[in-house]
Chain A
């Protein structure tokens, strides 16, 4: 599988493997599903192991998440290209309208938030997940996503606004 030396292998297990939760969590939110996320997280870890020699010993979590993200996007491009184009008509993108059926499904806040987060375009979803769930700084997010820090900030701001409005929309009529 890899030609890492025993020392590198040990170093990989100590620095990269502890971030398997972070890897899975990001993949789960980018791919919107656990089964795909398991495959992609595993693939990303194997890839990380293969290229561990090129890792300069910086922030292992950011490095791994960068690989996870790239693996997710490559997979999305191949399997669900429509989803990636979501962001281009982001202005047209409306939060899910709340029908009585969806309201019944989203009775609790976990489901409501999950649904709201999953309706965001991937580029917005990922900055929110990295910031709010993973606790990354702007700089770390910029490293992971390879987008300039200014864009990180504006994406985050728009992501929060969209999430907020998706939540407000979906809760209309939910509570009497």
Chain B
């Protein structure tokens, strides 16, 4: 038996391409159409498998070296003595190279290997949390409950808030270890996609949001009020930045 909803509608729903109204209509249909529900599960399994297999291939080191050789940073506008200029250019070239490795060449080139390693660990932890059987420390959409759960586990207060009205539903929290220290992980969900927010204490100076991608996942990282935040998901950067702004607005 065929249902009224064509495959393309099902796929558009799966890919978050439907308008809110049509999506709602489809969800009503989904409640009593086993065929569509099964097809959605299959699509989801396929997507998970593609993500978990880490098929995304970032630029190789040799490509980055070649690009770095062609696109060196602009020479300083103020004239400098020759040896200084060469020093400056060598340092800037090295920095640009590292920045490209991290996929976030920005106006400031203050990025280091440490950041790359960190992003790697965080993305690994995020992927781990997507695997079946991974557990939540506290599963609740009650921000106060989640915050007080963290209070018993960590020596710092974790800012927790539910942004369900803005499209980011709080799902709970768990603990993880990144770079040898305990971090709080806030679990959110947007249109069925898990988004994890990693929070830990830092003594480093505050920074504005920096974004990057790794293995098909995107992340936004910033420091504020002696805390570092890193939002990770397979959602687009715009979504992650929206969540960053929401968190930023109350921390």
Contacts and interface: CB of A to CB of B under 8 A. Distances in A.
Interface stretch (A12-20, A72-80, A86-94): A12-20
Contacts of A132: 47, 50-51, 216
Interface of B: 7-8, 11-12, 15, 17, 42-43, 46-47, 49-60, 62-64, 66-67, 70-71, 73-74, 77, 96, 100, 103-107, 213, 216, 218, 234-236
A133 B56 contact: yes
Given A9-B74, A41-B63, A160-B43, A113 B11 contact: no
Contacts of A169: none
Q: How large is the interface on A (under 10, 10 to 19, 20 to 34, 35 or more residues)?
A: 35 or more
Interface of A: 1, 6, 9-10, 12-14, 17-25, 28-29, 34, 37-38, 41-42, 45-46, 49, 109-110, 113-114, 117, 128, 131-135, 137-138, 153-154, 156-157, 160, 163-164, 167
B46 A38 contact: no
A138 B152 CA distance: 45
6 contacts: A18-B104, A21-B58, A21-B59, A42-B70, A113-B50, A135-B235
Contacts of B58: 21, 24-25
Contacts of A13: 71, 73-74, 96, 105
A135 B234 contact: yes
Contact of A20 (B49, B100, B234, B236): B100
Nearest to A113: B53
A110 B55 contact: yes
